[in-house]
Amino acid sequence: MTSNSKLIFGKSKNIKSNNYVPKLDIEGVNLDDILPKKYQREDLNLPNIPEVEIVRHYIGLSNINYGVDTGIYPLGSCTMKYNPKINEVISRLPNFSQIHPLQEKNQGAIELISEVSKFLSEITGMEGFTLQPSAGAHGELTGLLIMKKYFEYNNIEKKKIIVPDSAHGTNPASAKMAGFSIIELNSNEFGEVPLDHLEFAMQEEQVAGIMLTNPNTLGVFDRNIKEITRIVHDNGGLCYYDGANLNPMLGISRPKDMGFDIVHLNLHKTFSTPHGGGGPGSGPVGVVKKLIPYLPEPCIISRDEGLVCRENSQASIGRVKAFWGNFGVIIKAYAYMLSLGAEGLKRVGQIAVLNANYLRVRLQEKYFLPYNRICQHEFVLSDKGLPNGVTTEDVAKRILDYGIYAPTIYFPLIVNGAIMIEPTETESKQSLDNFTEILLNIYNEAMENPEKLKFAPHNTPVKRLDAVTAARNPILHD
């Protein structure tokens, strides 16, 4: 029984009830033939409560939830931004939502997938795309399998891949799943890849290339990016671009122009879909021309005679998901790109960077900024220097008392006591100022009344949990 059920039963009245499930009375049907006797019950343990009270209970719970429709969502590294509701409406049109990929007359849907691939090619510079992967990490795995297949198909043995410590947390896991061992590069004092370390690592013959996030999880754009990709290419490697942080780059900088060969994108981050709660997502993968034969199949290719479905390339890594991918998410991304257009998408990138830097400058008045330079879409503060032993967790818990969601904390791991903040382009100056005042006020509270932070939150339905006990002795069922 879930805790929710317990709440419902707690409202139940211990009086005779007329609530019942009628007995099976279909002529000629014997219940024993349908359900074995040992599974049948005469009495059901149902709560004795009116429907209206049940509705009020669950509506009350929903009002406790927090989402981007409720307030600012400064969740760094995830682009938890507001997305226009028109995209949701379009994806639910019957001719989209009620078709099946095995129907014969799906030319419109196939054309839409082709159009999205063309748009993504223009945005990234890549020459071929697959929309099959169903999330960012799935896109990472797909891109790395393409890299692996490229070397295998050309009889070149490569078993290692370079991953900077500023990469997304899923990068090493995806590389391991693809069969690579990891060479980690530590960032330099500017939060960038040290070129001398990269040169040294690329001397190993087994290195397939580099897997790099740019801008990285520090919100830093690597100023040596073209030199990085040149070094990798000169040593026979391929360059993989983690596009989860593409939001600030839209219309400004393309992965292909930086020198990358493979890129995955998160449509559910950058191109509209409510992100979180486990999905759904979409992680398309784009490649340069020489890697197109290795894309998953079936693959849509646009030729002079029209759209062609390629299914028999011996170089292909094969199917990575049923049918064409998460079509509903792809539709939302299509609507988003059409409604904004090229200039609108560029504006997204510009405002995302402006908003992040506005917060960065205001908050570093009180909070320590380990990498003190212009950021892109996000920046990372630290709890270094917070007064009276107050920690990052204390700050995050206290934020909840002000009725807004906390940023990502303790990530990336290369910053002690990290507080990662990403406002995205959708927040107004008023919203940013309100968030700033909350953070500055919390700092003042840490100076004057630190106990208020150390026992926060105080106003939420559930107070601070014992995280250590919860991790060591989890209660996984009631």
Q: Answer whether residue 263 is part of any domain.
A: yes
* Residue 215 near residue 221 (C-beta atoms within 8 A): yes
Burial (CB count within 10 angstroms: exposed 0-12, middle 13-18, buried 19+), residue 189: exposed
The better pLDDT of the pair 357, 279 is held by: 357
284 lies in some domain:
yes
Distance between CA atoms of residues 271 and 269, nearest Å:
6
pLDDT in tens, 80-90: 888 899 999 99
Q: What is the mean pLDDT of residues 20-41?
A: 81
pLDDT of residue 451: 96
CB 117 within 8 A of CB 333: no
Give the pLDDT of residue 25: 78
**What digits encode the pLDDT tens for the residues 364-373?**
999 999 999 9
Q: Answer with the one of 284, 312, 338 that is the final residue of a domain.
A: 338
Please indicate, yes or no, whether residues 225 and 172 belong to a single structural domain of this protein: yes
pLDDT on residue 106: 80
In a domain, 13, yes or no: yes
Q: Residue 196 and residue 198: Cα distance in Å, rounded?
A: 5
Cα–Cα distance measured from residue 150 to residue 454, given in angstroms and rounded to the nearest whole number: 53
Domain identity same for 216 and 274: yes
What is the structure's pLDDT at 306?
Answer: 66
Residue finishing a domain among 315, 338, 361: 338
Domain range spanning residue 399?
348-469
Query: Is there a single domain that holds both residue 306 and residue 365?
Result: no
- Residue 16's pLDDT is 62
Higher pLDDT, 13 or 218: 218
* 276: confidence class by pLDDT, cuts 50, 70, 90: low
Residue 362's nearest CA partner among 439, 431, 419 is 439
Task: Tell me how far apart the alpha carbons of residues 408 and 306 are, in angstroms, rounded to a whole number.
Answer: 46
Kind of pairing, strands 306-310 and 299-303? antiparallel
Mean pLDDT for 208-218 is 95
290 in the same domain as 185:
yes
Which tops the pLDDT comparison, 220 or 279?
220
Higher pLDDT, 466 or 164: 164
Q: Give me the pLDDT at residue 11, please.
A: 72
Share of the chain above pLDDT 90, in %: 67
Examine the pLDDT at 6 and tell me if it is beyond 80. no
Q: Are residues 299 and 193 in the same domain?
A: yes
Percent of the chain, pLDDT > 70?
93
Tens digit of each residue's pLDDT (9 = 90 or more) over 100-148: 988 877 888 888 999 999 999 999 999 999 999 998 899 999 999 999 9
Q: How far is CA 304 from CA 10, 120, 301, 307, 308, in A?
A: 68, 20, 10, 8, 10
Answer yes or no: is pLDDT of 37 > 80.
yes
Least confident of 219-233, 275-289, 414-428, 457-471: 275-289
Residues 366 and 319 placed together within one structural domain of the fold = no
What pLDDT, in 10s, does the model give residues 418-473?
999 999 999 999 999 999 999 999 999 999 999 999 999 999 988 888 888 888 98
Averaged pLDDT of the chain: 90
Kindly indicate the confidence band of residue 1, based on its pLDDT and cuts at 50, 70 and 90: very low
Predicted pLDDT at 142:
96
Q: Do 192 and 126 lie in a common domain? A: yes
pLDDT on residue 439: 97
The total number of structural domains that make up the chain: 3
CATH code of the domain covering residue 377: 3.90.1150.10
Given this model, what pLDDT does residue 12 score? 72
pLDDT digits (tens, 9 = 90+) for 166-192: 998 899 999 999 999 999 999 999 999
pTM: 0.87
Domain end point (choices 303, 338, 373): 338
The verdict on 91 and 143 lying in the same domain is yes
CB 84 within 8 A of CB 338: no
Residue with the bigger pLDDT between 17 and 64: it is 64
